[in-house]
Structures are given as C-alpha cells and as structure tokens.
Amino acid sequence: MATLNTMRTKGALFLSIFIGVALIAFLLGDLSTAGGIFQARKMRVASIDGNNIDYAEYADRLELTSNVIEARYGLSTLTAEQSRMVDAVVWNSYINRLVHEPGYRKLGLAVGEAEQVDMVSGRYLSPVLVGMFGDPATGMVNREALAGFVGSLGLDGTGRMAAMWDFTKEEMVTERTRSKFVALVLHGLFVNDLEVARGVAMANNSYSGSWAQVPFSAVADSLVEISGAEVRKYYGEHKDNFKRTASRDVEYVLFDVAPSPEDYAEAAAHIETLAAEFAASDEPMEFARVNSQDRAYEGFYREDQLDPEFAAIAFGDRQGQMFGPTLNGDTYIMARVSERRMMPDSVGARQITLPLGSPATDSIVRAVRGGASIVELARVYSLEGDIVDLGVFSPDQMFDNIRDNLIAARVGEVFTFDSQYNTHVVEMTYKSPAVQKAQIATIAYDVVPSAETEYAVYIAASDFVSAAAGSRENFDAAVQAQGLSKRVANIGQDEREIDGLAGSHSVVNWAFNSKPGAVSQIYDIDGGDHVVAVVTEAKEAGYAPVEDVSVAIAARLRREKKTEMLSGRIAGKSIAEVGAMEGAKSGQFVDLKGNALYEASLGVEPAVIGALPYVSGVSKPVQGYAGVFLVGVDSTSGSVDVTEDSERVRLEASAETSLPERISTALDGQIEIVDNRVKFF
C-alpha cells in the first residue's frame, strides 16, 4: 500500500512535470511559429485575391524583368523612372495571372500553340513584336532580324536573350488573350437611340438667355445645423465613396549641402590659374575638352545664333579676346574662339552602308560617279536596304570626319568615309550657301562643396537627429531651437518620391514602414543633400473612418440644406427679382451649346448649363458649384454640325477607347488587393 501510495504521489509529480514541460515546449513552438508567421507578414509585398507574394519572389521577378528591358533596349542600367515602369509591368503581370487569367480560362479563352506560332511568323504579327522589332516610322517588322534573333538564342551563353524571348512570348500571349476578352465585351456594347438623340441635340442646339445666382454664403453656416447622426447616416449610405489608398503625412527638414565661402574662395583661385592657361593655349578647343566639367560643344555658330558677349569675341569688337571667367550661379564660365570658317547651314546627302573595308567600295564609287543610281545600288549592296536618303540636315550633327567631307564636297560629288563598324559611300544632293561661322571653346567649372563643408553639414544633421529623436514633439522642438524650417508632404501609396525632392525613395520606404511620431535617420538624396523626417499621420488602405471625413460630409450636407433654403426663397421669382437680391449675381449668355462645361459669365457650372435643353421660360432652382441658380432661355437656334450617324460613331469610339480601362477597374474591384510595394521598392 505504501508503495502504491508512493507511486501515486511520485507519479502525479512526474505527470505534472511532464505536462508542464510539454506545455512550455508547445508554447515555445507556437511562439516560434508565430514569429515565423509575423516575419513572413512583415516581408509580404502584396496579397492578391488571397495569394500572398513575398519579398524574395517579387524582387526576383523585378530583377528578371529589369534584365529583359535592359537587353531589349540596349541599356546598361535603368533610371529611377524606368525602374518604376518595370515595377508597373511586374505588378500588372501578377494581376493578370492571379485575377484575369482564371476568368479567361472559365470563358474558354486561350491562345493555342498554332496561334502562338502565327503571332510570330504569320500574316498578323503580335503588337508586342511590332513594338520590339518594328520600324517606328513605318510600323513594319524586319522579319529577317526577328528570325535571326530567334535563331541565335542558343548562341547566347549569358541566357539574357533567352530570358528576353520567354518574357516576350508571355507578353504576346497575355496581349492576345486580353484582346479577345475586350473584343467579346465590346460586341456586347451598343449605343441606343436615346443617347444618340440627346448627343445630337446637345451638340447642335445653342441657347441664349439670362441667369441669376444666390451664393451659398447668403445663408450663414450657424443657421444650418448638421448632427452627428446625419453625418453617420450619410457615411453609411455612401461608404464606397470613402475608399482610400494608404498614405503618409510627413514633415521634414532639408540640410542643403552647398559650397561655403571658403569653397568659393578656393574655386576662384583655381579659376584664376585655369583662365591664364586657357588664354595662353594654342589649342582652345582641346584645352576645353580636357578642363571643362561639361562636355565642350564643338559645333559652329552664325553671329545671330550667339549671345551678345560670345558674338563680341567671335565677330565683334572683341575678336581674339577671351570671355570671362564669370560666375553664373555656382558655375564659372569662360570662352574663346577656337576656329572660324565659311560653311553651309544645311546639306543633303544619300548613302550606301557597306561592311567596313568592303572590296566593293571602289567599284560602287565609280558606278555612282558614272551616273548609276545610288538608290538602285543600295537595294543590292547596302546593309540598310532601301534606307539611303539622309534628307537635309546640319553638318554639325555629324562627326568630325564626315562633317569636314560634307562641308568640302560639291553637290553631286561622291566620297567615302569609315565609321566604327562600316564604310559609307556618300553622294551630296544639296548644299546651302556658305556663311561665316565660329566655333566657341567653352569651359564650365562648378563650385562644389568641399569634403570639410559636407562633413560640417552632416554633423549639423546628426545633432538635429539626436535632439529630435523619439517623438514629433522633440522634432518640433529641435526645429525651433536650431532655427530651421520644416516642410510638409503627403505621400500616396503609388508614389515613390516626395514631390520636389528627387532621390527621396528611401524616405518614402521608411515612412510607410513607420508609425506616427517616428523620427527618421539621416537620408541622403540626389545632389548630396540630407533629409530628416517625422511621420505625422498614417492612413491605411480601406474605408476612411467616419471621423476623418466628417468635416467633408458635414460641408456637403450643409450645402444641400442651404440649397433647400435658398430654393424656397427664389422659387416663383423672376430672373430680375433674384438678381436684385442682396449678394446675388446675374448675367446673360448667348449661343451657349448644351454640351458646354464653361461660360464666361457663369464660370464652370455643368449642372446649370446642362439644364438649358429642358428649360421652358424660367427654370426651377438649380444647385450649382457657387450657389443656387435660376436660368431663363429666351431663344434657341439649331445647326447641323453633328448628325445622328456621326454622333453614334463618336459614342461608340468613346466606349471602345475607354473599355479596356473600365474592364480592369471592374475586374480588379471584385477582389481584395493589399499592396505593400511602397514599403520595399
């Protein structure tokens, strides 16, 4: 019995310990899992119709698409604007795959293998290919170049060309499927006779008459009570009007890294030495090429094309002298005449482009000089096919070797020159009279902040961050104590920079990952300046709370109540009687079209103007933007500017043009989309 009792006692203790350990392990496991879930949510770029997209997946897709765009257009890197365009392409591809394509499949819309082949090699090529391989001037696709591109995919060891082709094929299928769906919906649209009749009447009929308006201010706001219950009722009945995207309100301080007085003094000393060397140089243009911080322009100018100070050293009473150096803003400018020559303003030429060092060059030159058609020879020999006419252009548009030949050659003369990859046979077709021109060697030298100046500004920004850290109150106190000025910005979810603050992408990312009251670190922006910001308000995507929109709703309800009150005051009165009321305005209109939005005396009042076709004598009170109106129509005149057929075509074209956007809005509005891209990219 004692043993049994001992076993019970010890067993209970053991069981308690076992359960306790298991419970702790379970909790720790839950916490670990919860931490993983929390981390996954933190790294979630978006959720589209229940499909979560994490950072790594989206970043990989961005990188792939960026590489494709770079390869397609021969770019080494993308600008900030191009990167935003790539982001839009990737986002739309997700929307298409997760939202649109499932619906297309349910409808039986697909692009089969035979159709895909036809889009590449058939009679009607995909618009995607036309955009990629087409001539911008003609819209025609070079099918040989397309075939060569596809045939060379296996020769590209980097895989970039294959990735570009896979991306292009995906774009082609997406475009074709979507065009089928748009066509399907389009054939279900029609313009009815009532719409046509109304459009014709509004476009053809003109109205003359008078109006009178009593402003809303004629009723004091204090006389119109709007209760909280009325605001909430309106909010509930119109809740969809208060959907919003996420946004952040921030205040920020800009620490401008500008040259100090010491930097200006150092630059002035350097410029003095540089100017002396420039004045003594026997090769002004070569000196400018080496020493100017801006690329020296090597073209030639007529006197009337130059600013007076440059014209004076080139053609005027200061010939042979140097202009400057002068300080313009933060840039020193100095200039000398490098060369004068007689040359035409414009020339015309035709050419045949051959492989570099082609053995056929001499025989082609002899043939053209002997009277053969350069156009016919180009069809046989030129690498650019029929593209032989260069038109009329300024010789300054060309490189030195061809420019000098163009200036020296006579009309009808044939000559050759070599570019980096090709030999060109050129026939002169036109040459304007020669005029005196001058080449100006110009040096631009920017005064920039020294390392010491940059460090001093950074230290000032660091001191500000230390004082401002922790809260908006600290931020405001630091602004006040240091005598700084702060700026205000509202950043929408779709924006990637603060308006007017180039290179502030990282500040936007930070703001959308921060709570109100958070103070940022120092962020560097374009130009080397520094920014420190504080989030003052964070609005998340969804329905705006009634508290946020109550003021706007109350203003709308107040205007409607004032409309009722003012309508009661002016009902049954004449235009003249209303115009004579205290604070009222009145005017006349002549030959006002019913589809107009604006009239000089009325201003922008589409509701008032839109009422004209339905007025017989004097209208009932009409609520406008500025107040409550009465309008009277004295006469109506008609025209035949628009026919029923032309109006029907216009309405159908308008519907067709807006249809793709309307389809996207309708489809996307049926699903839940959480877009957090602004937090990451």
Q: Which residues contact 407 (CB under 8 A, 6 or more apart)?
A: 341, 343, 344, 347, 395
What is the predicted pLDDT for the residue at 588? 94
The token pair that represents 635 in the structure block: 């006469």
What is the predicted pLDDT for the residue at 136? 65
Tell me the average confidence (pLDDT) per consecutive run of 10 residues in the chain, 681 residues long: 39 42 42 51 88 93 86 82 90 90 90 89 84 71 76 75 83 91 89 92 92 95 94 95 94 96 96 95 94 87 91 89 93 94 89 85 89 85 73 77 82 86 87 91 95 96 95 97 96 92 94 96 93 96 93 96 95 93 94 90 91 90 95 91 92 90 85 91 89
What is the predicted pLDDT for the residue at 5? 40
> What does the alpha-carbon distance between residue 272 and residue 278 come to, in Å, rounded to a whole number?
10
CA angle, 599 then 600 then 601, to 5°:
95
The CB-side HSE value for 465 (13 A sphere, CA atoms) comes to: 16
> What does the alpha-carbon distance between residue 554 and residue 502 come to, in Å, rounded to a whole number?
38
Please answer whether residues 226 and 522 qualify as being in contact, where contact means their C-beta atoms are separated by less than 8 angstroms. Answer: no
- E strands in 522-647: 523-524, 530-539, 542-543, 585-593, 598-599, 603-604, 622-623, 627-637
- 3-class secondary-structure state, position 488: strand
Please answer whether residues 283 and 436 qualify as being in contact, where contact means their C-beta atoms are separated by less than 8 angstroms. Answer: no
Alpha helices in 243-351 (DSSP H): 261-280, 284-291, 308-314
Please answer whether residues 374 and 386 qualify as being in contact, where contact means their C-beta atoms are separated by less than 8 angstroms. Answer: no
- 3-class secondary-structure state, position 258: coil
Residue 213: exposure state from Cβ atoms within 10 A (0-12, 13-18, ≥19):
buried
List the one residue out of 676, 312, 331, 315 whose CA is nearest residue 323: 312
String of DSSP letters for 227-238: -HHHHHHHHHHT
Please answer whether residues 412 and 427 qualify as being in contact, where contact means their C-beta atoms are separated by less than 8 angstroms. Answer: yes
> What does the alpha-carbon distance between residue 311 and residue 337 come to, in Å, rounded to a whole number?
10
DSSP H or E run through 45: strand 44-48
CATH class label, 346-431 = alpha beta
Q: Using one digit for the tens of pLDDT, what is the confidence trace for 92-132?
A: 999 988 989 888 999 999 999 889 888 888 888 888 888 77
- 3-class secondary-structure state, position 246: coil
Please answer whether residues 317 and 366 qualify as being in contact, where contact means their C-beta atoms are separated by less than 8 angstroms. Answer: no
The model carries a pTM of 0.71
Sign of CA dihedral 274, 276, 277, 278: positive
**For the chain, the helix, strand and coil percentages under 3-state DSSP, each to the nearest 5:** 50, 20, 30
